[in-house]
Amino acid sequence: ELRYGAEKSRRREANLAKYDANKDGKLDDTEKAAMKADQDAAEDARKAERDAKKAESEAKQTGRDKEKN
C-alpha cells in the first residue's frame, strides 16, 4: 500500500516535471492533452511491437508447418 502511494507520487512528480509547461504545479487541459498524446503514442508503439512479434512467430510456425509437409 505504502509502496503504491510512493510510486504514484513519484509518477505524478515526473509528469509535472515533463508536462507542466507554465510551472504552476498542476496540469491544465493543454498540458494534459500533451501527456495523453504521448501516452497514446507509447501505447501504439507497444501494440505495434506486440503485433510484429506475433506476426514473426506466426511466420515461423507457418514455415515449420510447410517443412513438415
**pLDDT digits 0-9 by tens, 44-62:** 999 999 999 999 999 988 8
Return the amino acid letter for 23.
K
Cell numbers of 19, please?
508536462
Classify residue 20 by its DSSP letter: -
C-alpha cell recorded at residue 68 = 513438415
Cα–Cα distance list, 12 to 1, 27, 38, 45, 69 (Å)? 17, 10, 15, 23, 56
Could you give the 3-state DSSP secondary structure of residue 23? coil
- The verdict on pTM exceeding 0.85 is no
Q: Please state, in angstroms and rounded to a whole number, the distance separating the CA atoms of residues 20 and 66.
A: 55
Question: 24-43: per-residue pLDDT in tens?
Answer: 999 999 999 999 999 999 99
